[in-house]
Amino acid sequence: MKLNRRTLLKGAAASAASIAMPQVVMGADNIKVGSIIDTSGIFDLYGKPMDKAVTLAIEEINESGGLLGRQLEKIDYDTQSDMALYTQYAKKLTRSDKVDVVHGGILSASREAIRPTLRKSKTLYFYNVQYEGGVCDRNIFCTGITPAQQAEVLVPETMERWGKKIYTLAADYNYGHITAKWIQHYAKENGGEVVQTDFFPLDVADFGATIAKIQDAAPDMIMSALVGGAHLSFYRQWAAAGMNKKIPMASTTMGVGNEHVVLTREEGDGIMMVYSYSKELDTPENKAFLSKWDARFGNSDDLHELAVATYQGMHLWAEGVRKADSIDREKVIEALESGVSFDAPTGKISLDAKTHHAVTSVHLIEVGDQKMNVVKSFGERQPVDTQGVCDLEANPDDNQQYEISI
Amino acid sequence: MDYAAVVGVEIFYAVAVLVLISAGLAVIFGMMRVINLAHGEFLTLGGYAAIVSHQAGVNIYLAMLVVAPLVVAVFGVLVERLIIRWLYGRLINTMLATWGLSLAMMGAMTMIFGNTTTGIATPIAGFTFGRYQLSGYNLFVILMAIVVAVGLYLALKTTRAGLIARGAMQNAEMTSAFGYSPSRVYLITFAAGSALAGLAGGVMAPLVGLNPASGANYIAKAFITVIAGGASVVSGALASAGLFGVISQTFTLLTTPAVGEIALLVVAIILLRLLPTGITGRFFKGRV
């Protein structure tokens, strides 16, 4: 190329611009990260911290020099808790923005709305939320925990402490039913039994009759997979009857929406659960993460499991790009499958090549004084539920969400 | 035997909840023929009033039984003066207006309190009954429902104000000819209905996780209870709350909570098919 006055001027202008704006916002050479999350509407409680997590991860990566010498650029859309908008924005991200990767989706319905679009357009997709398991698609990586990863630890640990007779309460939809099955599975495997399982529609807010029924069944412990604001009433009414002093309780769902802070000490103390993250985790990675979060956003009051999983999903993807030394989708997938890991706030996390799900640490947690205190940690838990139905190594063209039968 | 007593208390409690949450609606609909679709948000507002004032240091009983009804009554006065009074006699228009009000209130409460769940602990401890554990607060809810029903009955039946109110509802012009202002009677009635909604919201606050959309959990049941009850405010609400409470709890105990909810709705549909004007359209006619 001949150097003339025009190109020289262009170059000068560009370098002047990059001096003025050290973090280039728009640029042809940036790696484009698409983010598609509900940051308004009824799911904003989940979505807003997830969006912050994407921002934090991108800024961290850019500060350390970006990926492949290029800066990351965040292109985000607020889906407003409206499933119809997911399809629309996914098309926009792939067709006009031409992003290199998409992170996002909260509900399973939102994931299933955009998964086909991203697969068809060959855009790598990261779904970073705790969900019911079973998705088998080479184009997607699921970095959240699945029911078996929780139940596998929670059921035997609590049975050992409290006894063998379990009474299960679960939300009456896909997630609740699958979780209830896993609870039953692991109870049997460990020599216990589930004496009764009750399912509750999401708007049920009155549990008087159930509390009477539970007393009649006299179980050693309660397993709760109740979901949402109305179901929170159960913990209240349970404590109001004084039952929390008599029958101990464990939960696979409490804590994601920071329920342990909403409940009073008397109502919440002693409830046990299993998650991949708790703010009380005493590891250097978690402390560093929390101080970064605080420094960037002021406080970490709204931080929850899903946001941490999103942060980790971003970094796992970055590790994949580094290892592949390319942004090409196929090369990144191969790099991620070959085993990348990240020393995450939750503990070491890696990806399972067969299922594209996370191999992650989980922690047995007991609520005390409105905090999620870590009792015991379990490293490298495999996504056993999805592994039972999905094998992308043998079957790379598979593309569906399996219903996991146990 | 103990179990029967526990179940009995739970059934009474379910009936009491229905009476409480539908009393305010029954007054406003039964007497004024105004369908207040924002009733659920009135309940939620009462709940927030109780929680916020309790967190600010007000005694919990004062917060639930005085602050909550007062706040919602004042709000009801504003709503009546600004919206409802222009729409009397236009059923569809009031429904549309109050539905809009309900959405606006939900939005406003989300802006003020955030889209999160809050709550306060119940002030009454549970106690042991035989080998069962009972919630003391449930008994308190039952007591409150009885107080509301009896109080409403006496107010309408034995006081002069109740007589004037009933007169204004039956024939506004005649009441006006006697020297009473129907407009004032409507205002006071609407305020009273709002206060009852606030009371219910306050009393229920310690039992639920309250969020700006909580009203939706109650509105359907409150409406079914009032519509199935029919024209008579107190006896209608009592009769249908009794019926629905017993049915839904019995089915919940025998089968699952989902079936309990379905049973309630099925019975309501059959009932309204057989008695389109509600229970008190056929039985207890002319009672208060």
Residues 6+ apart with CB under 8 A from B245: B11, B12, B14, B15, B16, B17, B18
Q: Which residues lie across from A184 on neighbouring strands?
A: none
Strand A272-275 and strand A358-368: the pairing is antiparallel
Cβ atoms A362, A153 nearer than 8 A: yes
B48 touches chain A (CB under 8 A): no
Q: Determine contact: B122 vs chain A, CB below 8 A.
A: yes
Furthest-apart CA atoms within chain A: distance in Å? 90
ipTM of this predicted complex? 0.81
pLDDT band for A19, please (50, 70, 90 cuts): very low
Q: What is the pLDDT of residue A161?
A: 95
Of A41-55, A112-126, B106-120, give the range with the top mean pLDDT.
A112-126
Answer yes or no: is pLDDT of A18 > 60.
Answer: no
Whole-angstrom Cα distance, residue A39 to residue B115?
12
**3-class state of residue A378 by DSSP:** strand
Q: How far is CA A379 from the centre of its chain?
A: 17
Q: Which residues pair with A247 in a beta bridge?
A: none
- What does pLDDT average to over chain A? 90
Cβ-defined contact of A241 to B133 (cutoff 8 Å): yes
Beta bridge pairs of residue A75: A34
Q: Does A243 touch chain B (CB under 8 A)?
A: yes
Q: What are phi and psi of A171, to 5 degrees?
A: -70, 145
**Cβ separation of A229 and B117 shorter than 8 Å?**
yes
A266 touches chain B (CB under 8 A): yes
Q: Which residue's structure tokens are 């056993």?
A: A384
What's the token pair of residue B223? 């409406």
Query: Does the CA dihedral A312-A317-A322-A323 come out positive or negative?
Result: positive
- Give the residue extent of every domain in chain A: 30-145+281-361+386-401, 148-275
Residue A21 confidence (pLDDT):
47
- Give the per-residue SS3 of A184-237: HHHHHHCCCEEEEEEEECCCCCCCHHHHHHHHHHCCCEEEEECCCHHHHHHHHH
- Closest Cβ opposite residue B7 in set A42, A203, A212: A212
Q: Which residues of B touch A44 (CB under 8 A)?
A: 115
User: Which of chain B's residues have a Cβ under 8 Å away from the Cβ of A242?
Assistant: 125-128, 133, 135
Q: Above 80 in pLDDT, residue B136?
A: yes
pLDDT beyond 80 at A126? yes
Contacts of B222 in chain A (CB under 8 A): none
Cα separation, A165 vs A184, in Å, equals 11
Question: For residue B198, is pLDDT > 60?
Answer: yes
Q: Does B10 touch chain A (CB under 8 A)?
A: yes
Contact A210 B124 (CB under 8 A): no
Q: Do A262 and B116 touch (CB under 8 A)?
A: yes
| A243: chain B residues, CB-CB within 8 Å | 126, 133
Residue A245 or residue A40, greater confidence: A245
> Could you tell me which CATH number the domain at A148-275 has?
3.40.50.2300
DSSP A368: E
Comparing B35 with A54, which gets the higher pLDDT?
A54
Mean pLDDT of chain B: 91
Q: What is the mean pLDDT of residues B126-149?
A: 90
> Strand pairing partners for A198?
A169
Q: Could you give the count of Cα atoms lying within 13 Å of A293 in the half-sphere of its Cβ?
A: 23
Q: What is the pLDDT of residue A301?
A: 86
Q: Is the pLDDT of residue A194 over 90?
A: yes
As a three-state string, the secondary structure of B24-65 is HHHHHHHHHCCCCCCHHHHHHHHHHHHHHHHHCCCCHHHHHH
Which pLDDT value is given to residue A358? 96
Q: Residue A76: name the closest of A42, A111, A39, A123 by CA.
A: A39
Residue with tokens 């202002």: B181
Q: How many residues does chain B have?
A: 288
Task: Determine, for residues A237 and B261 on separate chains, whether the beta-carbon distance falls below 8 Å.
Answer: no
Asked if the Cβ–Cβ distance from B257 to A259 is below 8 Å, we say no
B119 interfaces chain A, CB cutoff of 8 Å? yes
Of A211, A212, A229, the CB nearest to B211: A229
Option in B133, B208, B252 nearest A209 (CB): B252
Is the pLDDT at B5 greater than 90? The verdict is no
Tell me: pLDDT of A182 over 70.
Answer: yes
CB B25 within 8 A of CB B201: no
Name, in order, each residue with C-beta under 8 angstroms of A270's C-beta and a sequence gap of 6 or more. Answer: A244, A248, A249, A366, A367, A368
How is A268-325 classified by DSSP, letter by letter?
A: HTT-EEEES--TT---HHHHHHHHHHHHHHS--TT--HHHHHHHHHHHHHHHHHHHHT
Which among A208, A233, A263 has CB closest to B10? Answer: A208
Same fold, A30-145+281-361+386-401 and A148-275: yes
Nearest to B226 by CA among B272, B195, B178, B274: B272
Are A216 and A208 within 8 A, CB to CB?
no
**Cβ atoms of residues A391 and A304 within 8 Å:** no
Q: For the residues A5-10, what does the mean pLDDT come to?
A: 55
Q: Tell me if A212 and B209 make a contact (CB, 8 A cut-off).
A: no
User: What tokens were used for A358?
Assistant: 């996370």
Residue A26 has pLDDT above 60, yes or no: no
CATH top-level class of A30-145+281-361+386-401: alpha beta
Provide the pLDDT for residue B211.
Answer: 87
Whether A229 and chain B come into contact, CB under 8 Å, resolves to: yes
CA distance A145 to B49: 39
pLDDT bucket at A12, cuts 50 / 70 / 90:
low
Q: How many CA atoms lie within 13 A of B185 on its CB side?
A: 24
Q: Is the pLDDT of residue A236 over 60?
A: yes
In this predicted model, what pLDDT tens digit does every residue of A252-276 receive, in sequence order?
A: 988 877 788 888 888 899 999 999 9
